[in-house]
Amino acid sequence: MKSNKYLVITGIIYMVFLFGNASCKKLVDVSAPVTSINGDNVYDNDATAAAVLTGMYTNMVNYNNLGSAISLLSISFYAGMSADELTLFSGENDLSYTQFYTNTLASANINPDFWSILYQMAYVANAAIEGLNATSGLTPAVKQQALGEALFMRAFIYFYLVNLYGDVPLVLTTDYKLNAVITRTPQAQVWQQIIMDLTSAESILSPNYLDGTLENTVNQRFRPTKWAAAALLARAYLYTGAWDNAAAWADTVISNSSLFALGPLNTTFLTNSTEAIWQLQPVQFGWNTLDAQTFIIPSSGLGGNWPVYLSPPLLNAFEPTDQRRTTWVDSINLNGTYYYYPYKYRSDSLDAPVTEYEMVLRLGEQFLIRAEAEANGAGGTGPAVQDLNSIRARAGLGPYNGSMAVDSVLQAIYHERQVELFTEWGHRWFDLKRTATINSVMGSPGNVCIEKSGPGSSWSPEWQWYPIALSQLRLDPYLVQNPGY
C-alpha cells in the first residue's frame, strides 16, 4: 500500500467486511453489517465509498494458508488438483487436499468452501451497487468508477460460482426477505446477468488505472478498468459460444497496443507487466504472492504447506523446445527424484522486495480467446492460426503446421491453453468442462482418475461440479444439492 491514507481507507472497509461476515446466517441471506460505518453513510463520502471496492480486492489476497476462509487465490491450487495439472504428494493425508485431488468431495466437510467465499463477496458487491445507485453525495467521477468496479466484481464472482457449481442462486439484492426464498438459477440466466453486468461496467469504467481515491491515474494495474471488463466479456462470450462477440471484445483489448503487449516469458508475472490487464497487489506483510509460497518446493521437501508438484500429463504436454517449460517450470531433486513445480511466480522469501503481483487477467488469454472464437466461425481458421502463432512465437516455438480444418485448429488452441494458462485461476478445470472433454480426460481407463486413486477407481461425470456445503443446505430449504453428492 502506497500511503497512510490508503491504509486507513482499506482498514475501515476491512473492518466493515469482517463485521458483516460475523452476522451472516447463510450466504444467500445476509444481514447488513452492524458498525459505525454502514450502508446508510458509507456512500456519503468519496473515500469510504471507494474503500468498499478496495476492501474486496484486499480480501481476495488476504489469506492465512491455502484453505483460508476468505481468499479466492487458492482456486488455482484446488482446481489444479481437481483437474490434471497437479499431483498430490503420496505422503500427504490432509483431507482438505485429498478430497479435491481424488474428486471425492463430501458436502459435510469442505475446506475451503468457495461457495461461502463467493457469496460473501457477492453480498458486498450487491450492497455497493445498491448504495452507489442511491447516493447523491459523491463526486460524479468517483461514483461512476466505484459503480463500474462493483458491477465488474459481481460478474467476476458469478463467473466463478457458475463454473464451480453449475446452477446457482442469482442473488442481486441485499433484501433478506427475497434472498430467503431464492432457488438455484439455470446457468444460462446466470451467464446473461454476468454479460449484462460486464457490459454496463465496461461503459462506465475508466480506461486508466486509478489509485485508491478513484481519481488519480497511476501505473499500478491493481484496479479493474474498462479493459478488464472487456477481457472478462470476451471470456464470458467464449464460454457461452457467442463467437463474434468473443472475438470482438478480445480484439478490443489486443488492439490497445499502447497499453498491452506480450513481453518476454520471464517478465509476464512481474509487477505492472505489459501483459497485465488486472493484477492483485500483495497485502500480506513481507510476502509477494501465495502462488510462489505454495508451489515452489523447498529443500526440506514435500508435505504440509507444499503438498503438490506438476503432474506427468501436464509436463508431457509441452513440446520439446517450448520455452515455457524451462521458464515457467522449475524442479528440485529430493532423494534422487526430480519434482517439477510451477515457477511463474518466483519470489517466495520473507521480506523480499515486492516484484510480483497476482495476475488475474492477462493478454495471452485474450489471444487464445480470439483464436478459438475465430476458428469457430468469427473469422475462420486462418486468423485463428495467426493468433495461435503469436502465443507460440513468444514461447520460442515454430508456427502451427497442422491441418487447417476447424477441429484440428481447435485442438491446437486447446493444447496451447493447457500449456499457457496452467495453474492459473482454474482455467484447465473449466476448459475441460466447457469443451466436453472432462469425461475422456478424467475417466477413461488409464487416465487421470486411475493415476490419482489407483486401479479400480472410477470417475463420475457429476463430480465436475463441486457440492454445496451441508451447513448451507441445512440453513436454506430452497437449496438443492448437486447430483452425485
Q: What is the 3-state secondary structure (H, E, C) of 338-378?
A: EEEEECCCCCCCCCCCCCECEEEEEHHHHHHHHHHHHHHHH
Does residue 254 lie within any of the structural domains?
yes
pLDDT of 11 strictly over 70: no
Average pLDDT, stretch 27-46?
57
Does residue 38 lie within any of the structural domains?
no
Per-residue pLDDT at 251:
98
Per-residue pLDDT at 206:
98
pLDDT of 198 strictly over 90: yes
> If phi over 0 gives left and psi between -120 and 50 gives alpha, with beta otherwise, what is residue 361?
beta
Per-residue pLDDT at 40:
63
Per-residue pLDDT at 13:
44
Q: How confident is the model at residue 122 (pLDDT cuts 50, 70, 90)?
A: very high
pLDDT of 215 strictly over 50: yes
Does residue 291 lie within any of the structural domains?
yes
Average pLDDT, stretch 436-440?
94
pLDDT of 38 strictly over 60: no
Lowest mean pLDDT among 143-157, 327-341, 411-425, 471-485: 471-485
Q: How confident is the model at residue 27 (pLDDT cuts 50, 70, 90)?
A: very low
Cα–Cα distance measured from residue 419 to residue 284, given in angstroms and rounded to the nearest whole number: 29
Cα–Cα distance measured from residue 133 to residue 172, given in angstroms and rounded to the nearest whole number: 13
- Contact 371/387 with Cβ under 8 angstroms? yes
Cα–Cα distance measured from residue 421 to residue 326, given in angstroms and rounded to the nearest whole number: 15
- Is 304 or 297 the better-scoring residue by pLDDT? 297
pLDDT of 311 strictly over 70: yes
Per-residue pLDDT at 23:
36
Strand-pairing partners, residue 217, are: 210
Average pLDDT, stretch 19-37?
39
Residue 57: CB partners within 8 Å, gap ≥ 6? 222, 223, 280, 281
Cα–Cα distance measured from residue 359 to residue 258, given in angstroms and rounded to the nearest whole number: 19
Per-residue pLDDT at 32:
37
- Is 203 or 65 the better-scoring residue by pLDDT? 203
If you average pLDDT over each of 112-126, 222-236, 437-451, which comes out highest? Answer: 222-236
Average pLDDT, stretch 438-446?
81
Per-residue pLDDT at 447:
66
Cα–Cα distance measured from residue 397 to residue 265, given in angstroms and rounded to the nearest whole number: 13
Q: How confident is the model at residue 449 (pLDDT cuts 50, 70, 90)?
A: low
Name which of 414, 459, 420 is nearest 432 in CA terms. Answer: 414
For residue 33, give Cα distances in angstroms to 119, 140, 471: 15, 26, 21
Average pLDDT, stretch 261-281?
97
Q: Which CATH number belongs to the domain containing residue 99 in this structure?
A: 1.25.40.390
Number of domains in the chain: 1
Does residue 282 lie within any of the structural domains?
yes
Does residue 348 lie within any of the structural domains?
yes
For the chain, give the percent of residues with pLDDT over 90: 75
Does residue 400 lie within any of the structural domains?
yes
Does residue 381 lie within any of the structural domains?
yes
Per-residue pLDDT at 73:
85
Q: How confident is the model at residue 384 (pLDDT cuts 50, 70, 90)?
A: very high
Per-residue pLDDT at 65:
56
Mean pLDDT of the chain: 89
- Contact 288/351 with Cβ under 8 angstroms? no
Backbone angles phi, psi at 264, to 5 degrees: -60, 150
Grid cell, residue 324, equals 515455457
Range of the domain at 308: 79-111+240-485
Summarize pLDDT for 322-351 with one digit per residue, the tens: 999 999 999 999 999 999 999 999 999 989
Inter-axis angle of helices 140-165 and 114-134, to 10 degrees? Answer: 150
Average pLDDT, stretch 129-134?
96
Does residue 316 lie within any of the structural domains?
yes
Per-residue pLDDT at 459:
87
- Is 11 or 153 the better-scoring residue by pLDDT? 153
- Is 10 or 68 the better-scoring residue by pLDDT? 68
For residue 59, give Cα distances in angstroms to 79, 249, 263, 433: 20, 29, 29, 28
Per-residue pLDDT at 181:
78
Grid cell, residue 368, equals 487464445
Cα–Cα distance measured from residue 156 to residue 163, given in angstroms and rounded to the nearest whole number: 11
Residue 201: CB partners within 8 Å, gap ≥ 6? 148, 149, 151, 152, 155, 224, 226, 229
- Is 8 or 157 the better-scoring residue by pLDDT? 157
Grid cell, residue 65, equals 494458508
Per-residue pLDDT at 10:
40
Q: How confident is the model at residue 445 (pLDDT cuts 50, 70, 90)?
A: low
Lowest mean pLDDT among 64-78, 330-344, 460-474: 64-78
